[in-house]
Amino acid sequence: MARHLFPLALCVVSVLCFYGSSSPVVAMQTSSVPSSRAAEGSAALPAPRDVLGFSPGDDRTIADWRQITDYFARLDKASDRVVIQTVGETTLGRPLIVAFISAPENLRNLDKYREMQRRLADPRLVADKAERERLIREGRTVVAISCSIHSTEIVASQMSMQLAYELGIAADHETQEILQNTILILIPSANPDGVDIVANWYRNTLNTAYEGTGPPELYHHYAGHDNDRDWFMLNLKETQAITRLFWREWFPQIVYDVHQQEQTGARIFVPPFYDPPNPYIAPLLLRGVGALGYKMADDLQAAGQQGVLTNAKYDAWWHGGFHTAPYYHNSIGVLSEAASARLMTPVVVTRDALAKNSSRGLPSALQTTTNFPDPWAGGLWRPRDIMRMEMTAARSLLSMAAKHRADYLRNFHELGRRAVSYPMSLERPMAYLIPAGQGRDEAVAKMVATLVWQGVEVHRLDQELHIFPVGLTADLGHSSRSQEVPAGSYLILLAQPFRANVLALFEPQTYPPRRTAEGAAESPYDVAGWTLPMQMGVEATPVGGIRELAHERRLTLIREEAEVRVDLALPPRPRAQGGKSPTANPLRRPVRVALYRGWTGTTDEGWTRFVLDTFNVPYSLLRDAGVHAGRLRERYDVIIVPSARAKEITYGNPAGTYPPEFTGGITAEGIQNLRRFVEAGGTLVCFGASTELAIKNLNLPVRDVLEGVSPAEFYCPGSILRADVDTTHPMARGVAPVTDVFFINGPAFEVLDPRRARTVARYAGRGVLRSGWLLGEERIAGKAALVEVALGAGRVILFSFRPQHRGQTWGTFQLIFGALEGDTGKR
């Protein structure tokens, strides 16, 4: 697929033109942020207003990525407290920048502090107690603050300029203390492409009926909202660049990710989080998160801010978020979620709407509780209000980082020390082994590369070793109980600084079931299970012990992905920017593939595109107009419909919510065109929820046994399940007979006419759950998971699970390719 190249038509003038016009919502506000701090310093620094023509956070103004990077470049030039670094390139080719903000003498010695951080992160590099104490005495707390990874949560990206300016100019004692004791890595946006997608859309819709709506497309090219779900898998260029900066170079002790939530809830959420916590997060970190969050809440309250919520809604169970990855690197991750406006357009929030808003830990956004002591009564809510809260929260966090500098450094180092001195016991793993010769080399290479990228130590075996299984109580000298492991295997020892990350990625998740007062399953914030080897279909064995006493001599530390690819004799990844994936197209013959993409911006469509691009499978995008046009069989062999509800695909955005060209869906006429396509020999492939569209409209002899089942009886919020695969079906070529699949409250099938529908995979008869949470196993056990249905001269393929979930499920990608190839199993 052709990639867009930085399509920036700067449009400052038009913004300024619109700026003075009347708004249907509220009169213009032109005042800048009142800042006593800013007034104290010298006036040599350009204020954001001087450069942008408006103050960040002003109603109905928006700075795009070019303006933001221009402003930071000017700060870099004018201030000895600010240094800009480009840390990578975004998916669509924009520069990904970070600002280092600190006292001038700290910035002049960044290399020294980076080396100190490396030693604090890895206690094996520290010679003795004296050196440790010196590092803690002389080090600085490294804090990262990241803005607007979710691009419609736009205010923080605008706020970043004001925060940098105030830190750059202020002369007050508190700011001096922050600058001297901390090194701030400020990320104006972790998704610059999305800043422009939103800025362009916002400007184009300003003063129309659609002002303040979100763009009718994903705000990350591949991941949309899921760009904050990629932080252990590292599929995206942005995640890779920042992960490398954090966990291979700078090891920030505190990471703060600034988000926004819905308009009608609390005005802002800050930690502590709701239950359950992930068991691999060190208690010391949970306390650290809590202390920081309470201080932020306290400072917000002291500043007169109402509607501050803690201990609700957001949990610390899932892995893979910007603010959760730090926990698995011995660092503190903080999230805030301010109530949104409509992009940069103010809103009026009614008491009624607040009264109706409830979530875990918050009975109503109007009700006073211990964790929500000062509800906001409603009224006008503007971007400036969001910005004020985020500025207060950021300064509070920085002040804590400065005042308790030595504590943060000591705790961070101490957690690493405990991890590397992990006492050996045969009752639990001391390592995980990825045996050589699995026939899954691309998946193994991706997995090892992903681990190494986030600072996990992986070793290659240069000679064979003998391992003992976990739980073996016989004495280690009894060699007959050991198993030989061939050279070329990979070993991940748990005695390493980021041990928690290895455990959180390799162990199965056991989510503690939770129910609401009404007896329904209480939803976790994100998925319940994600065990990496299971998702990737890679064998990884826990190791209880190693027979060879000096086994380290047989190991080589892997430093880069390139080394793994050489080991496995895989083609190298091209070095060119935006270089293509090295992975060969797995389809054995040319197939004309179309991928359906509506105007509702579904993440599953983006991830499907990601997998097709990763494997160099050519495809066309099929939009609503293309479905309406018909004659689909002349153009395509296969049409993929990613996971979305039938209603969403059929009707799209409702009329009146978007400009007409972005509303309407495929309609009933489009459904008939899809039927004709299949009857004329085409293959329709449906993932997850979109199977509903095919089953109901094409009268397939298949029933969803979970339809209408209440969440008190069946619930599975994103878990790994076991499926038995009929490997005699051509679609399942190369797939393991027992395969782990990723399932999110999807359908499960019963075949009503076996002459027309063949089951390619079914959920295990018992022991269905492998990792996560599954309530009501008996309802899914033995049910069909993947079905091929004959219709006319063609076929419909129904995936009840998500074969390409977040680009993580390498274990089931082959089933997608098998479905695309069009081999029909005998029926």
CA dihedral 8, 13, 14, 17 (to 10 degrees): 160
d(CA 2, CA 92): 10
Residue type, 463: Q
Residue-wise DSSP of 215-277: PSS-SSTTTGGGGGS-TTT--SHHHHHHHHIIIIII--SEEEEEEEE-TTS-SEE-SSPEEEE
Question: Whole-number minimum distance, CB 152 to Zn ion, in Å?
Answer: 8
The closest of 25, 11, 812, 659 to 341, measured between CA atoms, is 25
Residue in this structure with the two tokens 């082959």, named with its chain if needed? 814
Nearer to Zn ion, 321 or 626 (CB): 321
Nearer to Zn ion, 271 or 794 (CB): 271
Question: Whole-number minimum distance, CB 187 to Zn ion, in Å?
Answer: 14
Nearer to Zn ion, 232 or 801 (CB): 232
Neighbour tally for 277: CB within 10 Å: 18
Nearer to Zn ion, 259 or 597 (CB): 259
Nearer to Zn ion, 150 or 329 (CB): 150
Nearer to Zn ion, 261 or 541 (CB): 261
Run of H or E including 385: helix 383-403
Q: How far is C-alpha 619 from the geometric centre of its chain's CA atoms?
A: 25
Q: Which two tokens stand for residue 618?
A: 């050519």
Nearer to Zn ion, 169 or 339 (CB): 339
Distances in Å between the alpha carbon of 742 and those of 451, 488, 746?
Answer: 21, 29, 10
Nearer to Zn ion, 153 or 166 (CB): 153
Output 371-376 pairs: Cβ under 8 A, ≥24 positions apart. 371/309, 371/310, 371/311, 371/312, 372/266, 372/307, 372/308, 372/309, 372/310, 372/312, 373/301, 374/301, 374/306, 374/307, 374/308, 375/306, 375/307, 376/266, 376/267, 376/306, 376/307
Q: Are 689 and 647 in contact (CB under 8 A)?
A: no
Q: Which residues contact 17 (CB under 8 A, 6 or more apart)?
A: none
Q: Which residues contact 92 (CB under 8 A, 6 or more apart)?
A: 3, 4, 5, 6, 193, 221
Neighbour tally for 246: CB within 10 Å: 25
Nearer to Zn ion, 227 or 673 (CB): 227
Nearer to Zn ion, 259 or 329 (CB): 259
Nearer to Zn ion, 203 or 259 (CB): 259
Burial class (CB in 10 A: 0-12, 13-18, 19+), 368: exposed
d(CA 373, CA 266): 11
Nearer to Zn ion, 152 or 739 (CB): 152
Residue in this structure with the two tokens 């329904």, named with its chain if needed? 520
Which parts of this chain interact with Zn ion (CB under 5 A)? Answer: 150, 153, 259
d(CA 184, CA 191): 19
d(CA 271, CA 293): 5
